[in-house]
Structure 1
């Protein structure tokens, strides 16, 4: 429990310091970095780990499809509910103002992040059951790969209009899912390990959906070459960061 809690707090706090001090001034541009981090975390880290587990690939792809469609339907219901409740409230906003202000990607990133932290907690529990020293090393490795992902999450939340305090508190609450996963994994590991690949796939579907449906369309609105070049560079930077940390984890047997 201590290892999972510390891993979550340290990774989120480090990401918050970096995001709030350096990135919050250029949140719109940093959306490109977030796209690179979210997509590469899903496609190059979490999904390969799920498919290497030995689970049936067709079932995993079915879970990925269900996750993508599920996030689409959840977002659709949230937009319709928000539009029905607030649009035309007489405040003189342009059409679609309230829907934009809702920050539709903000809450979805929290759902995906919570699920991802849950699986991290299970992995830490599994490592501690095998060897306490391995558990500590695994916790450190998870901190390393969580920091860039949390930076991406903070960028999405700030871009959605959340204050720094709310973004930090919501992410901190999501980090407690690692504690839940750790405790649950410790007591039910033999019976629950087979569900890890599916949780990873579902969490990845949320990250992919957010990047492709919400963040990339924002980037497409900036169509000039002068604006496109920094976008491509920042996406590549996000991908490179995740690739580096993933390679480092594999080199140390995580």
Structure 2
């Protein structure tokens, strides 16, 4: 897998998610509407893509290898625990997202947390691309989609605090740090081919963790039947997207 493709994919996922979030926040504010509906749709879509990628592609590919099944299950467990601890560390650099002016100092902690998370996203995208092009495409799309709601909240905080400079810096940093993680993941994966099943399992564990610990809890709200149906439609759309991308790449 050429390094340039990995750099382009990680830059696209890192910068793309921020620009999509920026467009959505500007659009909803200019229209005078709350962005909760758009966030709910994106969260549902991201949940479907992440779970489908993990359970229908990454984990099956890892378990088809000759590696001991118990070792892969242990890797899955260790990955879930690792990403739980990583999220705890990231939370120490972040503050809640109230939209008032009391958190003018939240800009840099948010940027630090995004940098740590973006580096991890880059490693995961690169590992998936080295393992399989289909997995890499889906990984980049999934990262882009599932980061949009998160970046929307961050951009609100940065702008409510009057920090236009950090908001611009966030766009540049998200792409550069994600690409840096992609380069690191490329060299790690290319030199450790025997560890490929473990890397794929680790990527799957990260997708499962994000979906179950971050996305689904944010979807578990008291809603009308129509809103719940919309959630299911977008979740199934995410699963269909994984199947479509996988089918096209396979051909």
Q: Normalization by structure 2: what TM-score?
A: 0.68
Match of 2:34 in 1: none
**Residues in 1 aligned to 2:87 and 2:15: alpha-carbon distance in whole angstroms:** 28
Q: Secondary structure at the match of 2:183?
A: helix
Aligned pairs, number: 219
Unaligned runs of 5+ in 2: 29-37, 159-166
Alpha-carbon distance change, 41 to 107 in structure 1, aligned in 2, over 3 angstroms: farther
CA distance in 2, matches of 1:74, 1:146: 19
Does residue 217 of the first structure (1) align with residue 223 of the second (2)? Answer: no
Is 1:56 aligned to residue 72 of structure 2? Answer: no
- Are the counterparts in 2 of residues 16 and 168 from structure 1 also a CA contact under 8 Å? no
RMSD: 3.8
Matches within 5 A, 1:136-215: 138=133, 144-162=137-155, 165=168, 166=170, 169-185=173-189, 188=191, 192-215=192-215
Pair 1:114 & 2:122 matched: yes
SS at structure 2 position matched to 1:175: helix
Distance 1:167 1:226, change over 3 A: farther
- C-alpha contact 2:47 2:238 (8 A) present in aligned 1: yes
Q: CA deviation at 1:231?
A: 0.5
Q: Distance in 2 between matches of 1:212 and 1:167?
A: 27
Q: Aligned equivalents of 2:245 and 2:231: distance in 1? A: 22
Distance 1:41 1:4, change over 3 A: same
Query: Are the equivalent residues in 2 in contact too, given 1:8–1:143 (CA < 8 A)?
Result: no
- Give 3-state SS (helix, strand or coil) of 2:154's partner: coil
Name the TM-score, length of structure 1 as normaliser.
0.68
For 1:78 and 1:15, the matched residues in 2 are separated by 19
Contact 1:114 1:175 in 2 (8 A): yes
Q: What is the aligned partner in structure 1 of residue 78 from structure 2?
A: 66
Once the 2 structures are TM-superposed, how far is the Cα of residue 68 of structure 1 from its aligned partner?
1.2
